Amino acid sequence: MTQDMLKIDIQGDIAVLTMDRPEKRNAMCDQLLEEIDAFFSKPPAGVRVAVLTGTAGHYCSGLDLSEHVARDAEGTMRHSRHWHGVMDKIQYGGLPVVSAMMGAVIGGGLELATATHVRIAEPSTIFQLPEGRRGIYVGGGASVRVGRILGADRMIEMMLTGRKFGAEEGVALGLAHYAVGAGEALPRAMELARKIADNAPLSNYVMIQALSRIEDMDKPGGLFTESLCAALTQTSPDAVEGLAAFLEKRAPSFGRGR
């Protein structure tokens, strides 16, 4: 399946999404955002995990400033809120998303990456939030998603100076979970996607929905929510299958046919 700017390759229960604007380092424009939105609004039936990457040696270089549309304050706010809605669909839509990153992971590209659940960086990866050096401010969710990974103090320094971080630094800071060799991000992403797809769908869904929200709760609320999640998953058919597989010394088969 191919849209104009997003290639979609369904490989069994894994969907590989490739941002395809090589001449723009896969910079984000309204059309590409809408194509990403369309996929995550209604993922194809049977897909359990998505892998998100870019073409021609780059993940996503942020907003395409050459296609910048002048908006008034209200229009800018609404555009930003639309970004938030799309990023929320990626983070909370229930489909685990693995990012295979290389080259530019800049501005809106970093906002996109931090909405995904597993992030893998090749040596060429550059993490940057250059908005502050351009007289603007982030609008696609970085204040929350990147800010919670780095902490406000480090994010302020990053934005004030336009500082760039590489793959190894990104792992140390939490912007990436894995640093791999050149050309290895997508193979590792597919390997991890396979592991994730073999998990119980309900437990994957609950992990995605619960953990970042528990982070926002007070301790009693978080512990109670944990108990509800445990009750939901541990009484499911997949929990029965998981226990049976353990006792029978075999790999479990979760949720097949449902």
Is 126 found in the same domain as 145? yes
Domain extent at residue 225: 201-247
The catalytically annotated residue of 111, 168, 215, 226 is 111
Is 124 found in the same domain as 83? yes
Has residue 44 been placed in a domain? Answer: yes
Has residue 253 been placed in a domain? Answer: no
The catalytically annotated residue of 23, 67, 131, 169 is 131
Is 240 found in the same domain as 147? no
Active site residue 23: no
Q: ∠ CA 53-128-27 to the nearest 5 degrees?
A: 45
Give the list of residues 6+ apart from residue 232 with CB closer than 8 angstroms, or none. Answer: 202, 206
Is 165 found in the same domain as 243? no
Has residue 252 been placed in a domain? Answer: no
Is 26 found in the same domain as 71? yes
Count of domains observed in the chain: 2
CB burial of residue 209 (10 Å; 0-12, 13-18, 19+): middle
Is 213 found in the same domain as 112? no
pLDDT tens track, the chain, 258 positions: 545 899 999 999 999 999 999 999 999 999 999 999 999 999 999 999 999 999 999 999 998 877 777 889 999 999 999 999 999 999 999 999 999 999 999 999 999 999 999 999 999 999 999 998 889 999 999 999 999 999 999 999 999 999 999 999 999 999 999 999 999 999 999 999 999 999 999 999 999 999 999 999 999 999 999 999 999 999 999 988 888 888 888 888 887 544
Q: How far apart are CA 112 and CA 114, in angstroms?
A: 6
Active site residue 241: no
pTM: 0.93
Residue type, 5: M
Beta-carbon-side half-sphere exposure of residue 174 (alpha carbons within 13 Å): 11
Is 113 found in the same domain as 28? yes
Has residue 141 been placed in a domain? Answer: yes
